[in-house]
């Protein structure tokens, strides 16, 4: 076993940290420890390879994780390996003392100092130095010339010293042996720093409740030489005016007189602290303040009061001062402590208070702001809180007073129903005098309110004039089948004639008081096999389910031959009866008339029913062709349906005929219209006047008056003309009648002839599409046209006689 005096192991501590404020360091646990910095470490040469021989143990001041490593001298053999995370050192090669393991140089690297300067050039280069130097022969550690140690800056220094021999030959080569030691240098504090006050500037306060000896403020100072502090001594050197004292050891400043005897509101005291030689001076500012120990207080006529009450009529005018309140508010403090605000808390914007800001004392005035909020109908009492709160004090003292206003009612509202309408229900057949509404109608009104009833349907009901209870008249019998809905008005009127209305809706509830009824007690029906027959009963009740009828077969002969639809009353043969042969086999006779008893029952409560005997003559269908036959076959039990269909078809045909006739008439009327033509003819000279004109009406002879307007075949007329041209001569062309001479003119010879506009008519005839119309109708039309033409000609003659001609 051998001992390494100074095992020259080089342990590289790899530190992964984000901030390089302080370097990590190893723990120095002594030479006999198995963990630490490996400064003094011994190991037996027979230690097996792979055994753990030491644990490197270090830490980082910032608490960041550290990593460990070993660095060997270049060219030397590596015997140890360290785990970078745990620091466990293990032996990796066999040891032999005789091979002088001590000659293996290992350098222990604790930390690499690195400083970064962001400047460029020489200003960015960094060099390192120590404040200490050591004599190479004697080993005396000294402070470098020009360097000083400062306890306040660095109270402890750690110096690593390396000792080496002069070297010699070992195994044929020169070798120098070294060893290291860490020296801890503790700097002794010297008295070179003056004392200093802590927490300046200093402020103190004197309150009105203070007494002599009350503590105003305590100053505190500490010696700059913390390694060897000396006792501090305090004293007042100026500004106390004989009213303050200070404890020389604790620095507590106290009052020596009553606050009422102080002449100033502000004092600046000079305080000195001194150790054996050095001293420091500071200023303590002391202010005399009023202690805020009085809250605002409300006063009435008889002293302090917390509730104020007044009685008044509703709806005072806006801006009116409520003179019934006698309120004073006061704060006994001084200055800012006596400044406070007034506020009225309650229904929004109904009242306001004046003034709103008070200093010391004021008379409180309450003014009406919104008169609509002071309404007896909204509430007979109004409650407010009058609040006084200090403004600029830290305590924010406050006080409150209750403001109560009792309102007196005035007749400012009409009687008002709680609802605009009321709905009531009463069973039919109720006896006269039955209550329609079981509770009265609440009404807000002035004095006594009386009720009356009127409107359509109100004659069947009555109302109590005081309670508003509505009931039926003693002689009234309500029947839902006759009338189920009533509505009328109720009037509420106060003693001053003001009134309001409400509408009442009464529904007569239908009761099941009518049984179903068939048209006859014995019904005769004809049934074609495969087609149902229907029976129908009527229930005179007004509403369902009282008037909803269900049908059932009570008895049938033969039995089990019919089914009936409970809702519609349709009766069908059983599905297995499909022919007359089956019917005859059932009856065993040729008579095919079967009977059954049908019951009709309503769904009311209690339920009523009635029965009828139905005789059904069963026959077989005769097959008809065509849709009309099928329709008539389906309508055999309902002849009114077939009659309605026939009437509908006839109505459609008549309508189409009228439309066509109207269109033809309108077309003929437009074709026979006289078309006006307008032209201008100059007047003849006086010397060229024709002889007097004799009016000779041409005589037209027509065997048929409508022949003039008849439309003929042009080709046929051409053939007639060509065939008859040889038998009779051509008639001369028609000539217009001679115009009558104009009457004597009164115009002057020099007057120019004037152009006179005239209107001439031409008759445009057009053949009618109905060539076979009756003679009477054609004659009437022709006569009318001839008369119209005659009137036109007579009008022309009269105008010619007046000097106008055509």
Lookup: tokens for 623: 């097959």
- pLDDT digit string (tens) for 271-327? 999 887 788 899 999 988 877 778 999 999 899 999 999 999 988 999 999 988 999
What torsion, rounded to 10 degrees, do the Cα atoms 574, 577, 582, 587 define?
30
Taking the C-alpha atoms of residue 781 and residue 472, their distance in angstroms, rounded to an integer, is 74
Secondary structure tally for the chain: helices H, strands E: 5, 54
Residue 720, φ and ψ in degrees, nearest 5: -60, -40
Spatial CB neighbours of 108, under 8 Å, sequence gap ≥ 6: 8, 9, 10, 11, 37, 38, 39, 180
CB 541 within 8 A of CB 604: yes
CB 253 within 8 A of CB 243: no
Count how many residues are written for the chain.
806
Q: How far is CA 783 from the centre of its chain?
A: 84
Residue 584, φ and ψ in degrees, nearest 5: -70, -35
CATH homologous superfamily of 196-288: Cadherins (2.60.40.60)
Going by the DSSP 8-state scheme, the letter that residue 646 receives in this structure is H
Global pTM exceeds 0.85: no
Instruction: Tell me the CATH number of domain 517-621, given options 3.30.930.10, 3.40.50.850, 2.60.40.60, 1.10.10.10.
Output: 2.60.40.60
DSSP for 290-311, written as a single string: -------EEEETTEE-SEEEEE
Own/partner pairs, 139-146, CB within 8 angstroms, 24+ separation? 139/163, 141/183, 141/185
Q: In what order do the strands lie in the sheet with 80-82?
A: 35-36, 52-56, 88-91, 80-82
The SS3 call for residue 581 is helix
Q: How far is CA 42 from the centre of its chain?
A: 85
What Rg value do the Cα atoms of the chain yield, rounded?
Answer: 68
Taking the C-alpha atoms of residue 442 and residue 422, their distance in angstroms, rounded to an integer, is 12
Residue from 313, 331, 459, 336 nearest 398 by CA: 331
Q: What is the 3-state secondary structure (H, E, C) of 511-540?
A: CCCCCCEECCCEEEEEEECCCCEECCEECC
Place of tokens 């644990």: 55
β partners of residue 177: none
| Structure confidence at residue 402 (pLDDT) | 94
Own/partner pairs, 125-131, CB within 8 angstroms, 24+ separation? 130/159, 131/157
CB 621 within 8 A of CB 633: yes
Q: Where are the alpha helices (DSSP H) in 115-257?
A: none
Count of C-beta atoms within a 10 Å radius of residue 142: 10
The SS3 call for residue 447 is coil
β partners of residue 757: 680
DSSP for 748-766, written as a single string: -TTPPP-EEEEEEEE----
Fold agreement between 297-408 and 517-621: yes
CB 683 within 8 A of CB 756: yes
DSSP for 247-291, written as a single string: -TTT-EEEE-S-GGG---SEEEEEEEEE-SS-EEEEEEEEEE---
Taking CA atoms, 380 is separated from 44, 281, 409, 536, in Å, by 109, 73, 8, 68
- pLDDT digit string (tens) for 333-363? 878 888 999 999 988 889 999 999 999 999 9
Taking the C-alpha atoms of residue 474 and residue 183, their distance in angstroms, rounded to an integer, is 128
The CA-based diameter of the chain, rounded to the nearest angstrom, is 186
DSSP E strands: which ranges in 460-608? Answer: 461-463, 470-472, 485-493, 499-509, 517-518, 522-528, 533-534, 537-538, 549-557, 562-564, 570-573, 593-602
Lookup: tokens for 485: 């809905």
Lookup: tokens for 780: 């009437």
Spatial CB neighbours of 712, under 8 Å, sequence gap ≥ 6: 767
297-408 has which fold? Immunoglobulin-like (2.60.40)
Residue 689, φ and ψ in degrees, nearest 5: -70, 135
The SS3 call for residue 205 is strand
Q: Where are the alpha helices (DSSP H) in 105-237?
A: none
Taking CA atoms, 370 is separated from 283, 318, 320, 322, 355, in Å, by 59, 6, 10, 13, 18
Helices 639-671 and 627-634: crossing angle, nearest 10°?
130
Lookup: tokens for 642: 């077939």
Q: In what order do the strands lie in the sheet with 533-534?
A: 533-534, 570-573, 562-564
The stretches in the chain having pLDDT less than 70 are 1-23, 28, 30-32, 39-40, 73-75, 97-132, 135-138, 166, 189-192, 227-228, 438-447, 588-591, 622-638, 670-788, 800-806
Q: Are strands 173-175 and 593-602 parallel, antiparallel or unpaired?
A: unpaired
Euclidean distance between the first and final Cα of the chain, in Å? Answer: 170
Going by the DSSP 8-state scheme, the letter that residue 229 receives in this structure is -
Taking CA atoms, 786 is separated from 430, 706, 767, in Å, by 82, 10, 16
Instruction: Tell me the CATH number of domain 416-509, given options 1.20.1090.10, 2.60.40.60, 2.40.160.20, 3.40.50.970.
Output: 2.60.40.60
- Say whether the peptide bond before residue 563 is cis (omega within 30 degrees of 0): no
Q: What angle do CA 341, 344, 350 make, to 5 degrees?
A: 140
The SS3 call for residue 613 is strand
Domain boundaries, the chain: 2-186, 196-288, 297-408, 416-509, 517-621, 624-667, 675-714+737-801
Count of C-beta atoms within a 10 Å radius of residue 661: 11
């Amino acid at each position: 076993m051998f001992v390494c005096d100074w095992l020259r192991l080089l342990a590289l501590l790899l530190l992964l940290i984000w901030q390089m404020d302080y370097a990590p360091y190893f723990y120095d646990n002594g030479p006999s420890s198995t963990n630490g910095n490996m400064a003094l470490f011994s190991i037996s040469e027979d230690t097996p390879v792979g055994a753990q021989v030491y644990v490197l143990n270090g830490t980082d001041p910032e608490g960041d994780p550290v990593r460990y490593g070993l660095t060997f001298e270049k060219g030397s053999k590596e015997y140890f390996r360290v785990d970078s995370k745990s620091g466990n050192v293990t032996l990796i090669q066999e040891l032999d003392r005789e091979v002088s393991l001590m000659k293996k140089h290992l350098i222990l690297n604790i930390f690499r100092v690195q400083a970064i300067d962001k400047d460029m050039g020489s200003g960015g280069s960094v060099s390192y130095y120590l404040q200490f130097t050591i004599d190479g022969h004697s080993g005396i550690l000294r402070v470098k010339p020009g360097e000083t140690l400062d306890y306040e800056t660095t109270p402890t220094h750690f110096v690593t010293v390396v000792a080496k021999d002069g070297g010699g030959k070992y195994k044929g080569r020169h070798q120098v042996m070294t060893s290291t030691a860490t020296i801890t240098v503790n700097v002794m504090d010297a008295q070179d720093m003056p004392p200093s006050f802590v927490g300046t500037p200093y402020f103190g306060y004197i309150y009105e409740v203070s007494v002599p000896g009350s503590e105003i403020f305590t100053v505190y100072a500490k010696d700059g030489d913390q390694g060897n502090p000396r006792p501090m001594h305090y004293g007042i050197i100026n500004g106390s005016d004989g009213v303050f004292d200070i404890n020389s050891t604790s620095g507590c400043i106290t009052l020596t007189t009553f606050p009422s005897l102080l002449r100033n509101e502000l004092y600046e005291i000079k305080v000195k602290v001194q150790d054996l030689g050095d001293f420091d001076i500071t200023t303590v500012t002391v202010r005399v303040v009023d202690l805020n120990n009085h809250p605002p207080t409300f006063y009435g006529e008889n002293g302090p009061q917390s509730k104020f009450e007044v009685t008044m009529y509703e709806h005072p005018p806006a801006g009116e001062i409520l003179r019934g309140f006698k309120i004073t508010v006061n704060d006994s403090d001084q200055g800012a402590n006596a400044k406070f605000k007034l506020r009225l808390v309650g229904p929004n914007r109904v009242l306001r208070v004046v003034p709103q800001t008070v200093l010391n004392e004021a008379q409180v005035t309450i003014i009406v702001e919104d008169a609509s909020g002071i309404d007896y109908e909204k509430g007979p009492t109004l409650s407010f809180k009058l609040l006084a709160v200090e403004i600029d004090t830290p305590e924010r003292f406050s006080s409150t007073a209750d403001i109560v206003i009792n309102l007196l009612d005035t007749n400012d509202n009409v009687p008002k129903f709680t609802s605009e309408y009321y709905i009531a229900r009463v069973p039919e057949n109720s006896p006269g005098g039955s209550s329609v509404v079981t509770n009265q109608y609440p009404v807000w009104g002035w004095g006594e309110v009386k009720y009356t009833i009127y409107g359509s349907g109100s004659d069947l009901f009555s109302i109590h004039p005081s309670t508003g209870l509505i009931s039926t008249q003693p002689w009234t019998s309500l029947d839902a089948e006759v009338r189920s809905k009533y509505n009328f008005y109720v009037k509420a009127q106060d003693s001053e004639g003001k009134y309001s209305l409400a509408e009442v809706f009464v529904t007569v509830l239908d009761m099941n008081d009518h049984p179903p009824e068939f048209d006859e007690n014995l019904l005769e029906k004809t049934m074609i096999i495969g087609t149902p027959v229907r029976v129908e009963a009527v229930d005179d009740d007004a509403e369902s389910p009282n008037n909803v009828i269900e049908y059932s077969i009570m008895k049938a002969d033969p039995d089990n031959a019919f089914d009936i639809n409970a809702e519609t009353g349709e009766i069908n043969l059983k599905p297995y009866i499909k022919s007359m042969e089956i019917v005859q086999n059932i009856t065993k006779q040729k008579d095919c008339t079967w009977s059954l008893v049908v019951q009709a029952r309503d769904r009311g409560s209690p339920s009523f029913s009635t029965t009828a005997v139905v005789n059904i003559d069963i026959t077989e269908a005769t097959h008809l062709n065509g849709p009309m036959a099928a329709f008539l076959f389906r309508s055999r039990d309902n002849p009114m349906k077939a009659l309605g269909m026939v009437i509908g078809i006839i109505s459609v045909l008549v309508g189409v005929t009228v439309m066509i006739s109207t269109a033809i008439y309108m077309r003929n009327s437009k074709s026979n219209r006289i078309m006006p033509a307008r032209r201008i003819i100059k007047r003849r000279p006086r010397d060229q006047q024709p002889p007097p004109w004799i009016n000779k009406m041409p005589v037209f002879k027509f065997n048929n008056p409508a022949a003039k307007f008849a439309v003929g075949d042009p080709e046929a007329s051409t053939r007639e003309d060509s065939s008859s041209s040889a038998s009779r001569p051509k008639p001369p062309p028609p000539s217009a009648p001679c115009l009558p001479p104009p009457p004597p003119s009164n115009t002057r010879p020099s007057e120019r002839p004037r152009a006179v506009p005239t209107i001439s008519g031409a008759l445009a005839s057009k053949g009618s599409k109905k060539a076979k119309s009756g003679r009477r109708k054609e004659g009437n039309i022709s006569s009318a046209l001839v008369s119209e033409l005659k009137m036109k000609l007579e009008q022309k003659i009269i105008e010619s006689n007046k000097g106008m001609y055509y």
